[in-house]
């Protein structure tokens, strides 16, 4: 029987942590697999740490990793995977949007399909704003257009992975991790599992627009070089345009259908347009250089301040 670790990143989740633990516990109790839960406390400022400590004091099946500060969801999940010793791992949010009751079906699907991973695809999303749903939907499609790896759309980090993928993931040395992308990148046999995403059981989202944007930018920068090449494409277009416009200007001068002193509007438009393109492409290069800089500094991805039951 394969052993199973459930990885739960938590950031200021005092409102749901008890319920989350109770539901997970019940699910794991009904399974034959030896199992454990790793809660990764990502520098919470509320009562999450105390609550997890109390849970772990009464239950040796629960392990807790506490970061020294908030390092972000992707790094909390990374730590959970790094510290997992089981044959299988499930990554699940603390807020019960991804129902823990599906875990036995994920394990069953993995075994039936002889797959290395079962990733959960959201068929419906309850309790999320239309803005969040539509931007997420558009973004997954945009990313697929840009990316050199093809990703399953409408898929978050909720998934089951086996030892093959855990080992390969642990070998990755990049610090800017877009986990769902890297999981697809590892290859192997990965099969979808369709589910309805529920509303958050309690508390507020810990993913404000700024964190969502950062994740989106990381995924683009780390999975595509196409934006860098945008300068070249735009350059070709503008050279072509300049040739045509130059021809028009010269012919106009010779044949007398343009007047030298009437060019103010076109000059302003051209300066603004090409100035914009240049700033845009310099900005894109800046973003790539910034992530190169981050990678070269080689700082640890997270700092563990406390470990319980390890
Ligand atoms: N989370 C985290 N660190 C952060 C932000 C979020 O560990 O800096 C955790 C959070 O506790 C939750 C999961 O990541 O378990 C997903 O966050 P949330 O449910 O707030 O995101 P949403 O579902 O709204 O996109
Ligand atoms: Mg959530």
* Strand 4-10 relative to strand 88-91, pairing: parallel
* Strand 117-125 relative to strand 62-67, pairing: unpaired
The whole-number pLDDT of residue 249 equals: 81
Mean pLDDT of the chain: 90
CA–CA separation, 116 and 160 (whole Å): 8
- What is the pLDDT averaged over residues 111-129? 87
Distances (CA, A) of 203 to 12, 51, 98, 195: 9, 15, 15, 22
Closest ligand, as measured to the CA of 179: 1
Residue list, CB under 5 A from ion ligand 2:
93, 95, 97
Question: CB atoms < 10 A from the CB of 87, how many?
Answer: 15
Q: Ligand 1, residue 204: give the atom nearest the CA.
A: 20
Q: Rounded to an integer, what is the distance from CA 273 to the centroid of its chain?
A: 33
The owner of tokens 């400022």 is: 45
Per-residue pLDDT band for 58 (boundaries 50, 70, 90) equals very high
The whole-number pLDDT of residue 62 equals: 97
Q: Which among 61, 48, 160, 63 is positioned nearest to 108, based on CA atoms? A: 160
The whole-number pLDDT of residue 260 equals: 65
Q: Render pLDDT for 253-304 as a digit per residue (tens, 0 to 9).
A: 788 777 666 677 778 778 878 888 888 888 889 999 999 999 999 999 999 9
Q: Which among 290, 162, 168, 287 is positioned nearest to 228, based on CA atoms? A: 287
Asked if the model's pLDDT at residue 244 lies above 90, the reply is: no
Q: Ligand 1, residue 212: give the atom nearest the CA.
A: 25
156 close to ligand 1 (CB < 6 Angstrom): no
The whole-number pLDDT of residue 247 equals: 85
- What is the pLDDT averaged over residues 25-41? 95
Asked if the model's pLDDT at residue 163 lies above 70, the reply is: yes
Orientation of helix 209-223 relative to helix 73-82, angle to 10°: 60
Query: With left for phi above 0 and alpha for psi between -120 and 50, is residue 242 left, alpha or beta?
Result: alpha
Q: Render pLDDT for 10-26 as a digit per residue (tens, 0 to 9).
A: 999 999 999 999 999 99
Q: Which among 211, 175, 209 is positioned nearest to 290, based on CA atoms? A: 175
Closest Cα to atom 1 of ligand 1? 73
Closest ligand, as measured to the CA of 11: 1
Asked if the model's pLDDT at residue 108 lies above 80, the reply is: yes
For the chain, the straight-line distance linking the first and the last C-alpha, in angstroms and rounded, comes to: 22
Per cent of the chain over pLDDT 90 is 60
Per-residue pLDDT band for 87 (boundaries 50, 70, 90) equals very high
274 close to ligand 1 (CB < 6 Angstrom): no
């Amino acid at each position: 029987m394969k052993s199973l670790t459930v990885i739960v990143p938590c950031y200021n989740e005092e409102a749901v942590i008890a319920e989350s633990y109770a539901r997970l516990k019940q699910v794991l109790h009904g399974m034959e697999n030896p199992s454990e839960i790793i809660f990764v406390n990502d520098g919470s400022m509320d009562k999450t740490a105390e609550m997890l400590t109390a849970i772990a004091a009464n239950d040796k099946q629960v392990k807790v990793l506490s970061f020294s500060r908030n390092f972000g969801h992707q790094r909390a999940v990374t730590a959970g995977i790094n510290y997992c010793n089981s044959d299988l791992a499930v990554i699940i949010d603390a807020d019960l949007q991804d129902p823990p009751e599906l875990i036995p079906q994920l394990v069953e699907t993995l075994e039936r399909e002889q797959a290395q991973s079962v990733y959960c695809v959201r068929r419906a999303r309850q309790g999320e704003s239309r803005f969040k749903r539509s931007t997420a939907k558009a973004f997954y499609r945009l990313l697929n257009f840009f990316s050199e790896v093809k990703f399953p759309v409408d898929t978050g980090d909720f998934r089951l992975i086996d030892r093959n993928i855990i080992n390969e993931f642990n070998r990755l040395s990049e610090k800017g991790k877009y986990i769902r992308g890297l999981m697809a990148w590892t290859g192997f046999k990965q099969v979808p599992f369709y589910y309805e995403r529920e509303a958050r059981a309690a508390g507020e989202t810990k993913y404000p627009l700024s964190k969502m944007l950062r994740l989106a930018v990381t995924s683009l920068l780390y999975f595509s070089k196409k934006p860098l090449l945008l300068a070249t494409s735009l350059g070709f277009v503008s050279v072509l345009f300049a040739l045509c416009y130059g021809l028009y200007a010269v012919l106009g001068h010779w044949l007398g259908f343009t007047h030298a002193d009437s060019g103010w509007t076109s000059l302003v438009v051209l300066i603004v347009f090409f100035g914009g393109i240049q700033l845009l492409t310099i900005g894109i290069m800046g973003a790539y250089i910034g992530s190169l800089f981050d990678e070269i500094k080689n700082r640890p991805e997270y700092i563990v301040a406390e470990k319980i039951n390890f």
